[in-house]
Amino acid sequence: MTRRALSKQAFAGVWSNSCCGHPAPGEDVGEAVRRRASQELGMTLADVTCVLPDFRYRAVDADGTLENEICPVFTATGSADPRPSPDEVADWRWVPWQAFADLVATNPWAISPWAAEQTPLLVRRIHPGRRRPSRPPARRSP
């Protein structure tokens, strides 16, 4: 997960997915993912795979900025910790997938609107029979 830089025009300081591809005209989308991961996170990616080719979202930031984007979702692997650009990323954390999916299921307001919409789709794709997030054991009174 990354926390968007506070200087970002939209959704500044919001925790979200790792990075966004932003392909240039004529650029292959998978290559854009690799390029932006290098620019935003200082990472080289392997196993870049499109997992949600038709994903799109519409979201309005608190300042009224409207995003209405078509953005295929990719997964990838990296072999090192990120060295993020401070213009893009304020903070980052390695988070186990299930912990992230549980966070989204229980607190979708805590992350970017696009990640909140993508995650249930990814959960169904990765674990098709699963409908509910895992829950921590109930706390008992002392």
Residues with a catalytic annotation lie at 20, 69
Question: Which position has the token pair 């990640």?
Answer: 115
Determine contact, residues 17/115, Cβ cutoff 8 Å.
yes
**Beta-carbon contacts of residue 134 (< 8 Å; ≥ 6 apart):** 98, 102
**Beta-carbon contacts of residue 98 (< 8 Å; ≥ 6 apart):** 133, 134
Q: How far apart are CA 44 and CA 58, in angstroms?
A: 29
Q: Where are the alpha helices (DSSP H) in the chain?
A: 29-36, 97-106, 113-126
Report the chain's terminal Cα–Cα distance, integer Å.
35
